[in-house]
A and B are shown apart, each in its own frame.
Chain A
């Protein structure tokens, strides 16, 4: 009986921790739009401007379109759409590969991939075409 009670307490503690963890994940999922803005402008936009046919303004898509883009997780390029996932470009591997030439990638190197993805997502949703504050590339 005593053993059962101890077992139950452990289960309760574990459940609460899981719930707490989910809550923290939900919090993390909100993302920090300011960190996301730095990464988007200094990494994403920098590359697109130099190598991928020009900048993409956050206000070119609606919130739903941006969320759909991240849901499908297909980045392109156009001639090979499935070559890269969107999440690859926030990965440690990618940041590591450009850190010597991109100061923002170096600065944000230690942020977990999932967190950085949420940050970028938060910025794009925050400034999408149908947001209260659509923004241009600048």
Chain B
């Protein structure tokens, strides 16, 4: 009996194949998500011990991927504003949340798509420093550690993750973008982890059992360069762009009109709303409130109160309604949930206050870290919803400039360790190559964040009477006449008087015609 004869093997395999086909047809492949099964790739049959090892395996097949990524904002954290030539990007700008990654890269690079950005010695040209897994993980088990420049946690099974990669998802993008500013929903107001599995009411496009858009459905990429910019966005779109483009143009960002066009309201009874679209951004009506997913967004951050420790010497923490309202390392916070945004004219021009600039207060007493330009009559503005985030943060009162505090790290200069602002800012400004007088004071600042996500179903859009009313949502928008909001009592009275007189005239005329007809009937009997 020769069980290994060729004929036997063929017959066994044949039987096997038939049963497999029946089995497969029966069970189906409910969760097939890719045309490539990475568990079968010989390049990935290794016991990976580090992120760069995985990347070296990835780029054996995806030969151009790392080179493409090296050119993107996600890698360089730099952006040159084509309009005003300001050099922006995360590594250059300030904000009024965690202030700046400068001198804090080891910590902040947990949201960089690379491995090992601890200081200026980081090799931006090394392909193996690109972190493929942070964007392409499907297991949900990939996590970067803190304070080591974006290396993965030691507990991550890199081989398992590498063998289970696929397209980006709301989870992978959200791993950083939902947590901007240091926590879930803190920064944006329209992005938090409720968008990982959103209901239709929260986001009509991302609805997990409906359209199920991922971030990349709108934020298309060309060669890993992803559309969408808040440094130089487009506020108005004169032409109908389309998402499925072949060539990436900087101005061709992800936006509503890429799919919906410039006359988005198709039903006859809604067509007059298309006229609104000439002056109002889609988001103004279709994102009625911010932080609608059950996660509060932070609205203020006061660094000047930081430094309190509890009885054990640890930073004091206080929570209200589940929200962190005080942290000894960071200061005091307030929150909002399911609240109306503010509205401004916005033409897409954004200007940042950079480190080397003397600051000036606006009429409300705040330094505008970023200022949005726009007006009713410049021909390119729309009324936009924004989250305005207000803070109190350190600055140099002698130089009149904003400052870089070295907050994170284990050294004594780090604010979170020594709680000494002068030391922390001296170290931070030295690292940034900026002059510092040695004096520290605090100044009020504000930033605006355009609202784009959490798009509500049409039936939940902002109603007419929320704007066409005195003291409504658009009460602070100037330069435009809004019926009902801007009604003048005298003008209304005059209008009603004219209407009344017209009515009286019509009635009198009608009566005259009737009387005249009857009179003519009586005086001219039929022959």
A residues touching B (Cβ–Cβ < 8 Å)?
A: 4-5, 8-10, 12-13, 16-17, 20-21, 24, 28, 32-35, 37-38, 41-42, 103-104, 106-108, 111, 115, 126, 132-133, 135, 138
Contacts and interface: CB of A to CB of B under 8 A. Distances in A.
Contacts of A108: 209
- B141, B155, B197, B199 — most chain A CB neighbours (10 Å): B197
B515 interface: no
Interface of B: 1, 3, 8, 11-12, 15-16, 19-20, 23, 27, 30-31, 138, 140-141, 143, 153, 155-156, 171, 184, 192-194, 196-197, 199-200, 208-210, 293-295
A28 B30 CA distance: 10
A33 B31 contact: no
B140 A34 contact: yes
A93 B243 CA distance: 42
Contact of A35 (B1, B31, B184): B31
Contacts of B197: 37-38, 41-42
8 contacts: A9-B12, A13-B11, A17-B19, A24-B23, A28-B27, A104-B209, A133-B143, A138-B295
A24 B19 CA distance: 13
A9 B8 contact: yes
Given A5-B8, A41-B197, 17 more contacts: A8-B3, A9-B8, A16-B12, A17-B23, A20-B23, A24-B23, A32-B31, A34-B138, A34-B171, A38-B208, A107-B209, A132-B141, A132-B143, A133-B140, A133-B141, A133-B143, A138-B295
Nearest to B184: A138
* A-B interface, 4 closest residue pairs, ranked by CB to CB distance from nearest: A13-B15, A107-B209, A17-B19, A32-B31
B8 A138 contact: no
Q: Is the interface of A mostly helix, strand, loop or mixed?
A: helix
Nearest to A10: B15
Given A38-B208, A138-B294, A9 B140 contact: no
A8 B1 CA distance: 10
Contacts of B184: 138
Q: Is the interface of B mostly helix, strand, loop or mixed?
A: loop
Contacts of A133: 140-141, 143
B16 A126 contact: no
A20 B27 CA distance: 13
A115 B29 CA distance: 12
Contacts of B15: 9-10, 13, 17
Contacts of A5: 1, 8
B106 to A, nearest CB: 21
Contacts of A104: 208-209
A12 B3 contact: yes
Given A12-B3, A132-B155, A42 B199 contact: yes
A132 B209 contact: no
Contacts of A111: 30
A23 B479 CA distance: 69
A19 B190 CA distance: 49
Contacts of B196: 37
- B3, B19, B294 — most chain A CB neighbours (10 Å): B19
A10 B16 CA distance: 10
Contacts of B8: 5, 9
B194 A126 contact: no
A126 B138 CA distance: 12
B16 A132 contact: no
